[in-house]
Amino acid sequence: MLLWEEYRIEHADRQTYSYSQFCENFRAFAKRLKRSMRQIHRAGEKLFIDFAGPTIGLTDGSRVHVFVAALGASGYTFACATPRETMGDWLHATGRALEFIGGVPQLIVPDNPRAMIADPDRYEPRSNDTVLDFARHYGTSVLPARPRHPQDKAKVESAVQIVERWIMARLRHERFASIHEVDMAMAPLLARLNNKLFQKLPGSRATAFAALDRPALMTLPMQRYELASFKSVRVNVDYHIDIEGHRYSVPNALVGQVLEARMTAGAIELLHRGQRVASHARCSEQGAFTTVPQHMPAAHRAHNEWTPERLIHWGQSIGPATAVVVSRLLQEHKHPEHGYRSCLGLLSQAKRHGKPRLEAACIFALQIGTFKYRHVRDILANHRDQIGVAGQLDANDDWVSPDHAHVRGPSYYQ
């Protein structure tokens, strides 16, 4: 058919011929054509994919596109309806094709659709990041055909033609309200197509598939691929990255680094040099933060974990008087967090002066009616805690002034 089209175009402006002249000229023309190489397909190696040219109309006026896939060795064919021909439609339909055949081939061969192929280079074609992620999920590879070389995917070209003639042509007078109805109508016709006997070979596509391709296919993963998009992000000084107005934490050692964000409908994954360093449930709340405590520096994590109960328990580990002072500091303010710094300053004195001295200083402070951090600090700095402990000071004891040259005494006033 293609040869006749080329011949007709080349001789369009010439005079008409009789049938015998036409056959003679056509044979001469065919001899000048490039030689065609017969492709030998190994079992389970390649799945060829493409979209049919014609579309199917719906009752709402929209058009349904028909995706076609065919295995190389057996020609086993799959077809389904999609709303458009976007990258999501390509990958979703390919995933359905893999489930239909019940396995994964070594290669998936499309043509060069802009939705999937970032760089359609003849020698080093490059798929986009989402397509590569799809291939990683299924453990296969995507190798597009050469640009403007449909013979590289002749299997699916032939399958598209057969689907158009044996399935789409039979549905041309039907009316459908949704894509699902189109798929339901195509299913029995697709089964008949795969079970239809070959004209020049024994068996059918279904029997050839069972004998050749099915045993050679790799196992499907447990879960269907979830469409993901990718974005480069830089880690801010607060060890968070921003995605659509929401901020997600990463390990604080990566501040300033550029990471790759893998975004699905339900999750955000952060990758550094191909390794996952953080994973979060996706959140749509604008301006909010999702923070994992393990990502915080030790000092930030310790500050974030302070609670009144924890501070009081720390004070009790030093002594009962220290616990009372901590409780009084927390109760002094309207919100307990106002007293956190005072409590931390008080408890830090145990590292400088030791726990026994801090407990003694708190006892002394309570005896003189104070619980301020700076008062306890001054008691320790002036060693008043040691005096109080040594003298066993009691608020009921009478104080007697010692003799001194500068003290006048009661006889001075007589």
The pLDDT, as a whole number, for residue 391 is 46
In a domain, 32, yes or no: no
| 239 and 136 within one domain | no
In a domain, 41, yes or no: no
Task: Please state, as a whole number, how many other Cβ atoms lie within 10 Å of the Cβ of residue 281.
Answer: 9
In a domain, 33, yes or no: no
| Domain end position, chosen among 301, 319, 353 | 301
**Could you identify the residue written with the tokens 């296919």?**
217
| 196 and 126 within one domain | yes
| 310 and 378 within one domain | yes
Instruction: Give, for all 414 residues of the chain, the pLDDT tens digit.
Output: 556 566 566 666 666 778 898 889 888 888 887 776 677 788 989 999 999 999 999 999 999 999 999 999 899 999 999 999 999 999 999 999 999 999 999 999 998 888 888 888 888 888 889 999 999 999 999 989 888 777 777 888 889 999 999 999 999 889 999 999 999 999 999 999 999 998 888 999 999 999 999 999 999 999 999 999 999 999 998 889 999 989 999 998 999 999 999 999 889 999 998 899 999 999 988 888 898 888 888 777 766 666 778 788 888 888 888 888 888 888 886 666 667 777 888 888 888 888 888 888 888 888 888 888 888 888 888 888 777 544 444 445 555 666 666 667 667 766
DSSP state of 136: H
In a domain, 1, yes or no: no
| 322 and 337 within one domain | yes
Residues 218/106, Cβ–Cβ less than 8 Å: yes
| 385 and 239 within one domain | no
In a domain, 197, yes or no: yes
| 202 and 63 within one domain | yes
Q: How many domains does the chain have?
A: 3
Give me 144's structure tokens: 């597009």
| 310 and 181 within one domain | no
In a domain, 24, yes or no: no
| 189 and 60 within one domain | yes
Query: What CATH number corresponds to the domain at position 133?
Result: 3.30.420.10
The amino acid present at 31, given as its one-letter code, is K
Strand-pair category, 246-249 with 289-290: parallel
The pLDDT, as a whole number, for residue 374 is 86
| 349 and 274 within one domain | no
Task: Please state, as a whole number, how many other Cβ atoms lie within 10 Å of the Cβ of residue 188.
Answer: 10
Contacts of 158 (CB under 8 A, 6+ apart): 70, 75
Give me 293's structure tokens: 């405590």
Residues 48/155, Cβ–Cβ less than 8 Å: yes
| 160 and 87 within one domain | yes
In a domain, 7, yes or no: no
269/282 Cα distance (integer angstroms):
9
| Domain end position, chosen among 188, 216, 244 | 216
Q: Which domain holds residue 65?
A: 46-216
pTM for the model stands at 0.68
The pLDDT, as a whole number, for residue 392 is 45
The pLDDT, as a whole number, for residue 369 is 84
| 242 and 313 within one domain | no
Residue 137 CB burial class (10 angstroms; 0-12, 13-18, ≥19): middle
The pLDDT, as a whole number, for residue 90 is 94
Instruction: Supply φ then ψ for residue 348, to 5 degrees.
Output: -70, -15
In angstroms and rounded to an integer, the radius of gyration of the C-alpha atoms of the chain is: 41
| 289 and 210 within one domain | no
In a domain, 25, yes or no: no
